[in-house]
């Protein structure tokens, strides 16, 4: 069967409609990563967060996100939270975090996306905690 111009246009239209319908398995449409930053410490903190593409050859081309976040102290025992929905594309990332008010408090983490690829996207939790009043705060993922 020979392809006519009409059949080629119909095929192109059906591909276009499936793209608009929200097909998530297409190579140019990937899941997004939501950042949730939590402060369980009684003190406010400024968190410097950097997300880098894993395996990048140069830092300048690897930086996906580099921002500072103000995290107020918890209110009524519940952690204070800053949430950034769909911040970046969900992919393998090197996560670097440190407190700007205490640069000795730092942590690195290697984030792997959910392989299932189902649902709205992945979430990365970054927490600031402190064990005791005399202890230094720490960052957990």
Max CA pair span of the chain? 80
pTM: 0.73
- What residue numbers bound the domain in which 26 lies? 1-30
In this structure, the strands spanning 102-111 and 63-71 are: unpaired
pLDDT at 23: 42
The reply to whether 118 and 132 lie within a common domain is yes
The reply to whether 104 and 119 lie within a common domain is yes
Number of domains in the chain: 2
When computed from its CA atoms, the radius of gyration of the chain, rounded to whole angstroms, is 21
The reply to whether 15 and 60 lie within a common domain is no
* Cα–Cα distance list, 16 to 3, 11, 13, 77, 120 (Å): 19, 9, 5, 50, 22
The reply to whether 53 and 116 lie within a common domain is yes
The reply to whether 5 and 47 lie within a common domain is no
Domain of residue 43, CATH code = 2.60.40
pLDDT tens-digit series, residues 65-124: 999 999 999 988 789 999 999 999 999 999 999 999 998 999 999 999 986 655 567 999
Nearest to 125 by CA among 115, 139, 138: 139
């Amino acid at each position: 069967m020979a392809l006519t111009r009409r059949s080629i246009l119909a095929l192109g239209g059906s591909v276009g409609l499936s793209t608009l319908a929200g097909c998530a398995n297409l190579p140019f449409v990937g899941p997004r990563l939501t950042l949730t930053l939590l402060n369980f410490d009684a003190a406010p903190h400024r968190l410097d967060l950097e997300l880098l593409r894993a395996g990048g050859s140069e830092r300048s081309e690897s930086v996906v996100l580099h921002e500072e976040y103000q995290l107020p102290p918890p209110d009524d025992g519940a952690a204070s939270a800053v949430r950034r929905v769909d911040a970046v594309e969900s992919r393998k990332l090197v996560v670097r975090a440190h407190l700007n008010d205490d640069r000795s408090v730092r942590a690195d983490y290697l984030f792997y996306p959910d392989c299932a690829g189902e649902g709205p996207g992945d979430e990365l939790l970054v927490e600031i905690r402190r064990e005791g009043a005399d202890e230094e705060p720490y960052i957990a993922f």
